[in-house]
A and B are shown apart, each in its own frame.
Chain A
């Protein structure tokens, strides 16, 4: 049922132009400037907080988008069309994400409140060396499997005559010649795809526990890990839809992304909107009902205590209410413009949600929200990085782009 796509020569025109790079560079620069300014400013920990939040958010986006490709491939969903290809392009952000993770190490004193308090034995788990080692390894595994999966994918797309630079060669390795080769690559692709999905669940749970939950070292919620990776997939889909929409808008029907594709991925996005809300509610109910201060105090601080209560409502409305109400409508899912707007809103919402989770731990007894220009600029900076990463990947591997001129299914 799943035969290899016919090797296609993507029209070079599909590749992003130079302007895109400059745009990305400018944004990134702005972000960097703001970040550095913040570091030198009176509240370095605010800058670090912004950095951590955006690192989590944008990495999640990349990881989630790639998951889309891997998952749909693993379950042999046949409706994805060119989307799964596009999703692969987000892997370009992996190196950036890895780099940012290492940068966190520099800001550890600003980032990990538990460094300064008595953990009653939790030090075994919560200590910088161990934390960075295990999470680092986690990222390596995740990104490794991701790339392995995509490289197999590329091999099949390159087809026999793979022109192009060293990186292409390096990544793709030997291009399959015979059918038997293709079979083998297929099998590898399946394997790595499956592994990526598995790694995604494990590693993102770990990150959720380590970089978000442990910021309040006395609070635990067993669902938190799952909540974190569902969130990642949610934003990942958002990002993917945005990218697809942009491509569609730029290249029209020739991009081969049909309304049906937008509709289906839109439904998936909708589904994960609900799932996110579900996981949110599931945790809230259990903790609210149990009424054990060890658990409730964390939630109370973030949901009913100013200034955070307002933020909580915003997050809830932006991440759930709005998409829910909008996406009930069938037709909206097929309108790229509208979807760009919606997905952007959701991504912003999740960005605020990270602030809601981390903020209270990082700013004790904050009178007003620790949210300012710096945070905004750092966000923009990461946007720039993402643009760069995507532009570069798509330039080097136009195969990720939908093969031009193919009639929509």
Chain B
């Protein structure tokens, strides 16, 4: 298969970027990636992506945490089995506090893990074919074209009112 070149169009406005993303296929270019300084609804809508799956990690974490909390409290108190203040050895009302805190803690762990997994971070490799301006004020659309059509793609981007950056 012939070598591909990746070319990035940089736009000052995410509306334009979104438009480009929608038009790329028609123009016969394959969309690679979009970089933006902020989460842009327009771009995400243009990409018609399902919403992220982070939530499932969070939920799992939460459930584990809830039971872990209660388990810890109950296990330890049963181990020592000492009466304090006449309270029952296993008294769920106060143990709920432990359960609750653990729920939050573990959901957050789940959340962070989910975040890293889903968005594939840390990912130092991802910084090739990336333009620093994309963290500033530009919305970058990275598209690929088979060798020879670079010119067309550049024109395409420029017509849409963007600057162009070519990655060898």
- Chain A residues at the B interface, C-beta cutoff of 8 Å: 281, 284-285, 288-289, 291
Contacts between chains A and B (CB distance < 8 A), count: 11
Asked if B93 contacts A284 (CB within 8 A), the reply is: yes
A-B contact pairs, 8 of them (CB 8 A): A281-B96, A285-B93, A288-B93, A288-B94, A289-B93, A289-B94, A291-B85, A291-B86
Q: How far is the CA of A288 from the CA of B85 in the complex (A)?
A: 12
Chain A CB within 10 Å, residue with most, of B86, B93, B94, B96: B93
Q: Which residues of the partner chain A approach B94 to less than 8 Å between Cβ atoms?
A: 285, 288-289
- The smallest beta-carbon distance between B119 and chain A, in angstroms, is 21
Query: In the complex, given contacts A285-B93, A285-B97, what are 9 additional A-B residue pairs having Cβ atoms less than 8 angstroms apart?
Result: A281-B96, A284-B93, A285-B94, A288-B93, A288-B94, A289-B93, A289-B94, A291-B85, A291-B86
- Chain B residues at the A interface, C-beta cutoff of 8 Å: 85-86, 93-94, 96-97
Q: How far is the CA of A267 from the CA of B94 in the complex (A)?
A: 28
Q: Which residues of the partner chain A approach B86 to less than 8 Å between Cβ atoms?
A: 291
Q: How far is the CA of A284 from the CA of B91 in the complex (A)?
A: 13
- The smallest beta-carbon distance between A278 and chain B, in angstroms, is 10
Q: Which residues of the partner chain B approach A285 to less than 8 Å between Cβ atoms?
A: 93-94, 97
Closest to A281 in B: B96
Q: How far is the CA of A266 from the CA of B137 in the complex (A)?
A: 36
Q: Which residues of the partner chain B approach A288 to less than 8 Å between Cβ atoms?
A: 93-94
Q: How far is the CA of A289 from the CA of B86 in the complex (A)?
A: 10
Q: How far is the CA of A74 from the CA of B140 in the complex (A)?
A: 41
Q: Which residues of the partner chain A approach B93 to less than 8 Å between Cβ atoms?
A: 284-285, 288-289
Q: Which residues of the partner chain A approach B96 to less than 8 Å between Cβ atoms?
A: 281
Closest to A288 in B: B93
Q: How far is the CA of A291 from the CA of B85 in the complex (A)?
A: 9
Q: Which residues of the partner chain B approach A284 to less than 8 Å between Cβ atoms?
A: 93
- The smallest beta-carbon distance between B106 and chain A, in angstroms, is 17
Q: How far is the CA of A288 from the CA of B96 in the complex (A)?
A: 13
Closest to A328 in B: B59
Q: How far is the CA of A289 from the CA of B95 in the complex (A)?
A: 12
Closest to B100 in A: A281
- The smallest beta-carbon distance between A326 and chain B, in angstroms, is 16
> Closest 5 interchain pairs by CB?
A288-B93, A285-B93, A285-B94, A289-B94, A284-B93
Q: How far is the CA of A233 from the CA of B101 in the complex (A)?
A: 27
Closest to A287 in B: B93
Q: Which residues of the partner chain B approach A291 to less than 8 Å between Cβ atoms?
A: 85-86
- The smallest beta-carbon distance between A287 and chain B, in angstroms, is 10
Q: How far is the CA of A89 from the CA of B151 in the complex (A)?
A: 64
Q: Which residues of the partner chain A approach B97 to less than 8 Å between Cβ atoms?
A: 285
Q: How far is the CA of A250 from the CA of B54 in the complex (A)?
A: 38
Q: Which residues of the partner chain B approach A281 to less than 8 Å between Cβ atoms?
A: 96
- The smallest beta-carbon distance between A55 and chain B, in angstroms, is 33
Q: How far is the CA of A285 from the CA of B85 in the complex (A)?
A: 15
Q: How far is the CA of A72 from the CA of B68 in the complex (A)?
A: 39
Closest to B59 in A: A328
Closest to B86 in A: A291
Closest to A284 in B: B93
- The smallest beta-carbon distance between B56 and chain A, in angstroms, is 13
